[in-house]
Amino acid sequence: MSDKTVLDVKGLNCPLPILRAKKAIKDLAAGAILEVQATDPGSVKDFDAFCRQTGNSLLGQQEAGGVYTFQIQKN
Amino acid sequence: MSEANAKSMSIIVTKGSLDWGYPPLILATTAASMGLNVTLFFTFYGLALLKKKLDVQVTPLGNAAMEMPMMGMHMAMPNIIGMIPGVDSMATSMMKNMIKKKGVASLEELRDLAIEAEVRFIVCQMTMDLFEYKQEDMIDGLEYAGAATYIETATQSEINLFI
């Protein structure tokens, strides 16, 4: 069983990816992982700052074909 | 939100055009999503952002840095063109199209998100009187107060901005 939730915010611009992610994280259990898929290049720095400020862990981030993928673990 | 030891931010919102409406609402919603307690104090033209029927415009007049992307180039508008009747509504619909195309939230959407995130909206009562605005023309959930209420909030906030 996978406890990974995928959030597609491709095509959305600042600050919507962060706002949508925040909403999705709220519904998760502690330790669960949210995978965010975004196309906003600004989200690379922003998810870093968002995770530091909110105390969630940014486990990893990748870029492929203009899509930025972030794995965020809820703490 | 609303954790007792959370940091706080306040913004004085003084502008009510389509372009100037974005910075306070983007910062407010983002800060709220990062766990801050956020207060917006709307005064003067900022009140235009609180009308039930949001009808804000953008004007190229006096805005030397405003250039619209057009066919791979950028088009600036000299003031004399900005003065022609209808140019503001043309610029407004151009900007709204751009906003939609680029996946940028509408002001209505950001305002709704701010309310949902429990951002506190204080409205300057003096401006209500000055411009003869009616409370029934404004969205619900607003706090009508004055400068002292803002100052008290500002003294308790780590971040205080004026936009």
CATH of the domain at A55: 3.30.110.40
Q: How many domains does chain A have?
A: 1
Domain range spanning residue B132? Answer: 8-54+106-162
Give me the CATH number covering residue B42: 3.40.1260.10
Range of the domain at A42: 4-73
Decide if B97 is inside a domain. no
How close B85 gets to chain A, by Cα (Å)?
Answer: 32
Within a domain: B156 = yes
Q: What integer pLDDT is reported at residue B70 of this predicted model?
A: 85
Whether residue B72 is contained in a domain is answered as no
Q: Of the residues A14, A44, A49, A67, which is catalytic?
A: A14
ipTM over 0.95: no
- A12-42 pLDDT, tens digit per residue, is 999 999 999 999 999 999 999 999 999 999 9
Nearest residue of A to residue B34, measured between CA atoms: A54
User: Are A53 and B34 within 8 A, CB to CB?
Assistant: yes
State the pTM of this model: 0.91
Q: How confident is the model at residue A1 (pLDDT cuts 50, 70, 90)?
A: very low
A51 noted as active-site residue: no
Is residue B148 one of the residues assigned to a domain?
yes
Question: B24-29 long-range contacts, Cβ below 8 Å, gap at least 24?
Answer: B24/B49, B24/B161, B24/B163, B25/B49, B25/B107, B25/B110, B25/B111, B25/B114, B26/A14, B26/A15, B26/B110, B27/B161, B28/B114, B28/B117, B28/B119, B29/A15, B29/A19, B29/B110, B29/B113, B29/B114, B29/B117, B29/B119
Residue B46 placed within a domain: yes
Q: Using CB atoms, which residue from A11, A14, A22 is nearest to B26?
A: A14
